[in-house]
Structure 1
Amino acid sequence: MANLPGWLKQFMNKAITSLIFPDDPDLNLTAFDMGEDMATMSIDEDTVKRLKVAFGEVGAAEMAVPATITVSIVKTVASANIWRKRIFANGLVGGVNRTCVFTDDVGNEYTLFACTLSMGEVTANATNPAYSFTVKGTLAVNTDLYGVYIG
């Protein structure tokens, strides 16, 4: 990709963004389903807690932390209706571990467990071409230290 023009490299990177639900494939999204804001993930807590002890503070690595993925889905794609219907019926992701694999625009993969879906802010602005949705789940961190055991 080194010989490609800069604007094409950026497009190519964004094209790999996806949300994959291994046990609930109806919810799968690719970059082509997403609106301009695509998808972003935020970690909702610190991955290392500072604990007070008699001689000061020590760091205690967390095994897993809550995380939120915010995704915009173009209103005219079939996925938008599937997500809306699912949220109104039941906001839980299917499967034993209720898993979502988020791939960001540079190819890093993050797996969230115990995921729930919700709809973001709905505006009356008819010119907005996308719905906003959130996926909340638990992100395993420090897996080198603890390993991963789910299910």
Structure 2
Amino acid sequence: MATVSSFAAVTSLCGALVLPPMMEDAAIRWGLASAMGAALAALAAAWGHGFATRTPQTPGEAPLGRSAHAAGAGSVAVAGDNSGSIATGDITPRAVPAQPPAQWPATPPPPAPPSSNSTVTASGERSIAVGGNSSGTLSTGDQSGGTGQ
């Protein structure tokens, strides 16, 4: 409906009102008006296709039907992918470790296949749960070996 309406409106307005003062020949004027109407109709069709095929998502809703629930004190649950830093522990200055921290493996593990209906729950104190891939830094504030890592 929007495509037909936009074509008809632009073609009629350009052919009857906008272009006559600039062009004497009616064949050229209406041909140009039709081309302008077709261009706007193509934009309306692209908008309509995008509108019809979009996935409705309300603010705060997790992507792909996933849900996240953080129940523990200071816990974080992310239903989708995470690319930022997440820290759930207390922020206190740490001593510099005597040796550099261990490096991550050169090749990351393959991503888990996406699930259309998954639930992510972080139920423990200062727990972190990520339902997708995580490329950010995750820290619960726990210390192991006295190095502050």
- Tell whether the structures are fold-level matches, with TM greater than 0.5: no
The TM-score range, normalised by the shorter chain, is: under 0.3
TM-score (norm 1): 0.20
Q: TM-score, length-normalised on structure 2? A: 0.21
Indicate the structure (1 or 2) with the bigger Cα radius of gyration: 2
Structure that is richer in strand per residue: 1
